Structure 1
Amino acid sequence: YGEDEKSVISGLDRISKPGYRQYVGKNRIPRVYNNLGIAILTTSQGVMTGQEAKRRGVGGEVLCYVW
């Protein structure tokens, strides 16, 4: 919560599901709401944000978007 006691997270969208896994390469990591949100990925180096995955040059499974 923020200082005015309102939720800081306004939305969350699950991408990968047990029956439908969504994988992306290092050059195809999505931008969420024109960089106002983040993508959460699980990679061979652990769970990280899309920005961190780009910085490390790894792709992986897109778990969710948070904005």
Structure 2
Amino acid sequence: MTDPIADYLTRLRNAIKAKHKIVEIPASNLKKEITKILCNKGYIWDYRFIEDKHQGKIKIAMKYSNINKVNAIKVLKRISKPGLRKYTSYRKMSRVLNGLGIAILSTSKGVMTDKEARDLKIGGEVLCYIY
């Protein structure tokens, strides 16, 4: 697999389109951090890390509206790709959907949202946009 983050986002996107309540994704430290951010920001209900002999799995409970069964995540967009990395400084960081969405960055201080990176005044690699 050449791009595990794109695979992670695609699995989430497919689960949303198929209206699955739970999705299992192969785990990595970066995927675990992204999952924690998604849960903290309210895009998913819950998650659980399952250890096994190999790399482990992440079980994610998707979040849907009770009224019209619409998912909390509308768009998952991969920004920095293996063939073309995208980096930004905290000064040039653009707001996602005018502040309604989040950008997930990989920084020297770890994986965080664009707002957290702006507050800490650090830039990094823009992994994805979620709104």
For this structure pair, what is the TM-score category when the shorter chain's length is used for normalisation? over 0.9
Q: Please report the TM-score for the alignment, with normalisation by the length of structure 1.
A: 0.93
Match in the other structure for 1:26: 90
Q: What is the CA–CA distance in structure 1 between the aligned matches of 2:126 and 2:94, rounded to whole Å?
A: 9
The answer to whether the aligner puts 1:52 opposite 2:116 as a matched pair is: yes
Q: Which has the larger radius of gyration?
A: 2
In the alignment, the residues of structure 2 paired with residue 36 and residue 56 of structure 1 have an alpha-carbon distance, to the nearest angstrom, of 20
Between the aligned partners of 1:18 and 1:3, the Cα distance in structure 2 is 34
Q: Report the counterpart of residue 106 of structure 2 in structure 1.
A: 42
Q: Give the Å deviation of 1:52.
A: 0.1
The offset of 1:3, in angstroms, is 4.3
Identity among equivalent positions (%) equals: 51
Q: When the two structures are superposed, what TM-score results if normalisation uses the length of structure 2?
A: 0.49
Structure 1 unaligned blocks of 5 or more: none
Shift of 1:26: 1.4
Partner of residue 72 from structure 2, selected from 8, 22, 25? 8
Structure having the larger proportion of residues in helix: 2
3-state SS of 2:84 partner? coil
Q: How many residues align?
A: 67
Give distance in 1, aligned partners of 2:113 and 2:96.
11
**Aligned counterparts of 1:3 and 1:22: Cα–Cα separation in 2:** 33
Of structures 1 and 2, the one with the larger relative CO (CA 8 A, separation 6+) is 1
Deviations 1:6-58 (A, max 9, x none): 31001111000001000001101110111110110000000000000000010
